[in-house]
Structure 1
Amino acid sequence: MAAIIQLCVMYLTAGLYKLTGSMWLDGTALYYATRTQDYFTPGLSEWLWKNETLLKGMTYATVVYQVLFPILLLYRYTKYLALLAAFAFHAGIAVFMGLIDFSWIMISCELLLLSDREFQMIFKKYKRFVAWLRMKLLQSAG
């Protein structure tokens, strides 16, 4: 429980801090972050810089997601939405900023939010999906 509370505090304070920054409010923070040598991913960063609408949307979505994260955990279905957003958020950080280790650590921390029953449900759905995919591949090959 302490780790989950810490995760919530971390996201909330990061989001609230971003609300005080002018680059986060005008939607340019991710542009400038990906322009630095440390967070540059060849090919992807240039593509991102050319998509101003996407870049601004990702910047605003980051702030909204971080501020709302603790609130989204209060309800079952919004918890799943928060987890999907967290996985997408950290996958984006890994891909666009090259912070792969950080992203894996954060995703593993967010998995604390799932119960054993939820893990079992996900595993059952995964097994069904793999069986369905095998069947479709066999049908298309035969």
Structure 2
Amino acid sequence: MAIFTYLKNMEDKNRYSFYLAVFRVFICLHLIKTLLFQWSYFDILYGPNSFVAPVPTFLTELLGINSQLLREHYHIFITVYLLVIVLHLFGIGKHFTALLLFLCYETLQRLCNLVLNGGDNLLKFIMLYMIFADSYQYFSIKATQWTNDTLRRLSNLGSNLCVRAVTIHFCLIYFWSAWHKIHADVWFNGVATYYTFSIARFKGTPWNDWLARNGFFVTVSTYFTLLVECYFPVLVWFKKTRLPVMICGIALHIGIYVFMMIYGFEIIFIMTYGFFFNDEEWQAFRDKVGSWIKRKTRWQITIGHNQQPVRS
């Protein structure tokens, strides 16, 4: 059957080892950055004085402890969480550390779920998928060395299925977002950007008010968003249309980043785009950039040697 042939082909090689490692490093740096930004507010976010009522988490239920007890000793939990992040950053502990990091991250989200956004939810699922992936061939203290062929093939299968799960999940997010937007009057009638840019929370630039009053911009930006979310889940799977639709998607997220001040959400979504390219495609891109830099450098050196000294 075709499905078995497809799975068997996935066992031959980890086709996404490079970007899995890149995203592993990104996850760790992103989580550290988030902790630094929240440093002054740990007590009201996760401590006993939090404005969020204690709720059971997967980790507290697994260990059989009360969530309030975790809040009372949140300093210890944050310290352990930070240690796990650093270990995962350097690839120490590999899959076991990835599992611990997912459990800690999920617990932290449950302790204060009111500060979460769509990017946090997507990242949690990606971290779950990456537990089963070999993301340690690059940017790791020691790459995974498989002496058993069966384990190597299982690792390749898990890594490739992880990336496929991430990409399908990502496309479903766009699809359902577009589905709900189409059934909303403000989006269907092309005026959603006007209402969004008129909200004080999303006034990221001094030009937001002017843009909200510009009918052409409002109509184009509203339908552009709909078109990207509608067609991305289809066009991204074809090589000829992948890059154009991804450029449009990145432009959309950069626009939201700049004009609406939604930062982490957009960075996570843009970084997820990298999973749509395998190792060979990233290698070809790196070679092109490297050859371009060499040509530019050689050209500048040649120009410098050919310059004649200026006589006074």
TM-score normalised according to structure 2 size: 0.42
Following superposition, the deviation at residue 80 of structure 1 comes to 1.3
Cα 1:117–1:20, aligned 2, differ >3 Å: closer, same or farther? same
Given that 1:11 and 1:67 are in contact with CA atoms closer than 8 Å, whether structure 2 keeps it comes out as yes
The amino acid of 1:77's aligned partner reads K
State how far apart, in whole Å, the 2-side matches of 1:94 and 1:102 are: 8
Q: Whose Rg is larger?
A: 2
Given that 2:205 and 2:259 are in contact with CA atoms closer than 8 Å, whether structure 1 keeps it comes out as no
Structure 2 counterpart of 1:107: 270
Structure 2 counterpart of 1:78: 241
State how far apart, in whole Å, the 2-side matches of 1:111 and 1:55 are: 30
- Indicate which of 6, 14, 24 corresponds to 2:177: 14
The amino acid of 2:238's aligned partner reads Y
State how far apart, in whole Å, the 1-side matches of 2:298 and 2:212 are: 42
State how far apart, in whole Å, the 2-side matches of 1:125 and 1:117 are: 12
Looking at both structures, which has the greater relative contact order when contacts are Cα pairs under 8 Å and sequence separation is at least 6?
1
Structure 2 counterpart of 1:29: 192
- Indicate which of 226, 231, 234 corresponds to 1:63: 226
Structure 1 counterpart of 2:77: none
Structure (1/2) with the larger helix percentage: 1
Structure 1 counterpart of 2:214: 51
Given that 1:27 and 1:60 are in contact with CA atoms closer than 8 Å, whether structure 2 keeps it comes out as yes
Cα 1:51–1:130, aligned 2, differ >3 Å: closer, same or farther? farther
Cα 1:38–1:72, aligned 2, differ >3 Å: closer, same or farther? same
Consecutive unaligned residues of structure 2, counting only runs of 5 or more, are 1-163, 308-312
Following superposition, the deviation at residue 124 of structure 1 comes to 2.5
Q: Secondary structure at the match of 2:237?
A: coil
State how far apart, in whole Å, the 2-side matches of 1:35 and 1:64 are: 22
Following superposition, the deviation at residue 134 of structure 1 comes to 5.2
State how far apart, in whole Å, the 1-side matches of 2:197 and 2:291 are: 39
Structure 2 counterpart of 1:38: 201
Give % identity: 24
Following superposition, the deviation at residue 136 of structure 1 comes to 7.0
Structure 2 counterpart of 1:116: 279
Residue 265 of structure 2 is aligned to residue 96 of structure 1: no
Cα 1:3–1:130, aligned 2, differ >3 Å: closer, same or farther? same
CA deviations on 1:55-85 (whole Å, 9 max, x unpaired) are 2111001111101111102310111122111
Following superposition, the deviation at residue 36 of structure 1 comes to 0.8
The amino acid of 2:181's aligned partner reads K
